[in-house]
Amino acid sequence: MSRRLLLGLSGSLRRGSVSTAILKSLASAVSDRAELRIHPLGDLPLYNGDEDGEHAPESVAALKAAIADAEGVVVASPEYNYGISGVLKNAIDWASRPAYASVLKGKPVLIISSSPGLTGGVRAQAQARQTFAATLSRVIAHPEVVITEVYQKVVEGALVDETALAFTTAALDALLAEIALLAEAEPEAALA
């Protein structure tokens, strides 16, 4: 079977971001079965309905095209004040239009949250699930991937904690299984 194409979205723009590091480590862990491309979100302007639609900014069109091309989306979010980061929410808002008919509709999605604390960003995770529900995307049925005490588990830009990496990789394999299931059910849609 050919490698699946996945899109990674990090909710943090920080150079030393653990969210981005988690995505990069996952990309390496599954490179034999999927290509996980991280799409930068830093160029997106703040959502403005006046600029949305046919003449949306280039960065918005690029984000939408990348989501449309990917067979699944992997989101890694920090928790900011008990919610997802503004960077991530802004990206989802742009990608979610037109409402109920956007590139996110029906798209398999895996959500990962992390935090240096003991909660692993679980509140942001809950909020992300709710937000993706509004886009009619298909957040996979899997126990939540939350990575607690992440500063001990990500070292020099890599997720080195074996238990966390194994759990997160298993979730990504669940995403790939969901994509395979969908391709079986809708072979034409999977090729489109």
Draw the binding track, 25-44, toward ligand FNR (x: CB under 6 A; -: no contact).
--------------------
Q: Given the rule CB under 6 A, which of 16-24, 125-133, 138-146, 173-181 is the region that contacts ligand FNR?
A: 16-24
Number of residues this chain uses to bind ligand FNR (CB under 6 A): 15
Q: Which of residues 108-137 bind ligand FNR (CB under 6 A)?
A: 115-117, 119, 121
CB 147 within 8 Å of CB 114 = yes
Q: Does 161 bind ligand FNR (CB under 6 A)?
A: no
| Minimum distance, C-beta of residue 77 to ligand FNR, in the bound complex (Å) | 8
Strand partners, 139: 109
Instruction: Select 57 or 157, whichever has its Cβ closest to ligand FNR.
Output: 157
CB 165 within 8 Å of CB 27 = no
Dihedrals phi, psi of 141, to nearest 5 degrees: -80, 100
Q: Which of residues 63-92 bind ligand FNR (CB under 6 A)?
A: 78-82
Structure tokens at 155: 């070292």
Instruction: Select 14 or 53, whichever has its Cβ closest to ligand FNR.
Output: 14
The span from the CA of 181 to the CA of 90, in Å, is: 30
Task: Determine which residue in the list 6, 18, 84, 139 makes contact with ligand FNR, applying CB under 6 A.
Answer: 18
Instruction: Select 90 or 119, whichever has its Cβ closest to ligand FNR.
Output: 119
| Minimum distance, C-beta of residue 61 to ligand FNR, in the bound complex (Å) | 26
Q: Does 19 bind ligand FNR (CB under 6 A)?
A: yes
E strands, 17-144, where?
Answer: 34-38, 72-77, 108-114, 138-139
Instruction: Select 82 or 100, whichever has its Cβ closest to ligand FNR.
Output: 82
The span from the CA of 35 to the CA of 3, in Å, is: 6
> What separation in angstroms does the CA of 83 have from each of 14, 96, 129, 141, 169?
17, 18, 11, 21, 24
The span from the CA of 119 to the CA of 185, in Å, is: 37
Would you tell me which residues interact with ligand FNR (CB under 6 A)? 12, 14, 17-19, 78-82, 115-117, 119, 121
